[in-house]
Amino acid sequence: MSVTPVVKNGKSCWQVQVIRGATRIRRFLDRKKFLRQDALALEREILNDLDTQQRDGATATTTTPTTSTTPTTTAPPPTSVVLAEPALVTFADFAERYLALQDPQKSDYTNKVRNVRLHLVPLFGQAPLAAITRQHVDDLRVRLRTPHGERATSRRARCRPDAPLTRRRKGGPKSPKTINNVLATLRAILHLACDYDLILKVPRILFEREAHKDPDFLDFDEAEALIGAAPPEWKLVLRTAIRTGLRRGELLELRWRDVHLEGPSPYLRVSRSTREDRGAGRVIKEPKGRRARSVPLTAALAADLRRMGAQSKPDDLVFTGDNGQHLRFDQLYTVVVAAAKAAGLSKHVHPHLLRHTFASHCYMRRVPPQVVQKWLGHASVTTTERYAHLRPDTDDELIAVLEAGRADPADLGATTGATNRPHNVKTPLRVL
C-alpha cells in the first residue's frame, strides 16, 4: 500500500495503491484539488472496505445453520464497495457514471448529455469499454460525416421566412466543430475509465480540421441603425448589450445593485447569470468561468441608466418582462431579428452577435487585448485574439523604414517608437 505523487495523462496526481493478496486497487486524485491527507483517507477507506468484505466472506463460509435447514445469506453492509470486472463494464453504464460526475451548472453540461445520448450510446451502447479501439473511433467520425435524413430548417429560417434553408440535416452531416465536440466527450469518458483502471489505455483520437472564420460583427453605423430601429422600450437593452458585451444570461440577470453609477467612473459588476432549463425552469448561476468581473460604462449609457433607475430598488431587475419578471430568451432573440430587418441589415443578427460587436469595437478603438479579455470575461487571451485582425496597426509607418536608405539607428528607434536599445545588441560598424 502506498500514496505517491505521479503524473497521469499529463496531470499531477496522488496515486493510492492497495495490494492485498491477489487484489490490487489503484486510485488517482488530482493534486491541485486534494491534499496528501485526502489520499491517505482514501487509502484507509479502501482498506476498511477490503477488511469488511474479507470478514463477511469468512463468516458466510464458517457459519452453518443449526435450527433451520433453510440456508441463510449475509447481505453486504451498505458501505461496502462492489467492484465490477473491467470486461463487464459497458460504455452506456459508464457514460451515465461520467455524466453524474459533471456539474449541471456549467454551460457545456447540456452539450455533453446530448453528445452521449444522440451519438455515443447509439453506436457503442452495450459494448465493453475495453473493446473500444481506434477503428471504432474512426467509424464514429465517418458516421458523423455521412449525410442522411431529410432536410431541416434552422432557427434562422423559422424566424426569417425569407432566409434560405441551411445545410443542416436531421441525421447529419455534422460540422467539424460538432464532430470535435462529440470526440472530446468520448475522450473525456475514456480518460476517466483509464483513471478507474477499467481500460489499459485510451485509443488515439484524431480530430477534424476546423476552418477558423473571423467572427461577424456590426460596424459603428450598423450598430446605431439597429438601436434606432428597435422599439422604444428595447433601445436601452440593445445599447447596453452593444456597449458592455454582456452575455445573454448576464444581461437578463442584471440587477440595479450591480449598476454603480456614482463617481467619475461608472461600471457594471457581473457576478450572476441565468439560463432557461426545460426541467428546472429558470436557473440563476455564476457567470461563465465562475469569475465575477467589472465592465466600465460610457458616459451616455450611464446617463440613460441613471434616468431609468431613479425609482428602482437594488434587488430589482434592470430589464424586466411581464410582471417584473425576467425577459425570456426568445423575446430578446425575436426583437433583435426584427430590429435588424427593420434597419435593412443583410447580416444574420442575433443576441450573441452584439457581444462580438462590442469586442470588435474595442479592438478598432485600440483597446489593449488584455483589457478586452478582462471586460469580456475570457479565461484566455487567445479567445480574445479572434478579433485581432481588426486592430489598426502601424504597418505603413514601419514599411517606410525600408525607404529611408542608410538611416541612423537613432532615427529607426524614433520611427518605431523604441526608446531603449537592448543591452545585448552591439552597435554595427558603419561602412564608409
Q: What is the mean pLDDT of residues 270-299?
A: 87
Can you read off the three cell numbers belonging to residue 414?
524614433
Report pLDDT digits (tens) over 127-173: 899 899 999 999 999 989 887 655 555 545 455 556 555 555 556 68
Q: How far apart are CA 290 and CA 252, in angstroms?
A: 17
pLDDT band of 21, cuts 50, 70, 90: low
Q: pLDDT at residue 39 above 90? A: no
* 243: nearest Cα among 325, 158, 161, 301: 301
Are 165 and 153 in contact by the 8 Å Cβ rule? The answer is yes
Residue whose cell numbers read 443578427: 349
- Chain centre distance of CA 57: 47
Name the superfamily (CATH) of residues 220-390: Intergrase catalytic core (1.10.443.10)
307-333 as b/e: b if 16+ CB within 10 A? eeeeebeeeebbbeeeeeebbeeeebb
Domain 86-195 has CATH 1.10.10: no
All CATH 1.10.443.10 domain ranges in the chain, comma separated: 220-390
Q: Please tell me which residue, 200 or 242, carries the higher pLDDT value.
A: 242
Cell of 79: 458501505
Q: What integer pLDDT is reported at residue 85 of this predicted model? A: 58
pLDDT at 425 over 90: no
End-to-end Cα, the chain, rounded Å: 78
- Model pLDDT, residue 288: 86
pLDDT, tens digit (0-9, with 9 covering 90-100), for 336-384: 999 999 999 999 999 999 999 999 999 999 999 999 999 999 989 988 9
Q: Which amino acid is at 1?
A: M
Average pLDDT of the chain?
80
Pure H helices in 121-275 = 121-124, 134-145, 155-159, 176-195, 220-229, 235-244, 248-252
In DSSP terms, 218 is beta-bridged to none
DSSP letter for 84, please.
P
189 HSE (CA, 13 A, CB side): 29
Q: Tell me, what DSSP letter sits at residue 129?
A: G
Higher-confidence residue: 180 or 85? 180
Of 230, 217, 259, 229, give the one whose Cα is nearest residue 349: 217
Could you tell me if 255 and 316 are in contact, meaning their C-beta atoms sit under 8 angstroms apart? Answer: yes
With pLDDT > 90 as the criterion, what percentage of the chain qualifies?
A: 45
- The pLDDT of residue 214 is 84
Q: Tell me where in the chain the CATH 1.10.150 domain(s) lie.
A: 86-195
Q: Which three cell numbers stand for residue 272?
A: 450572476
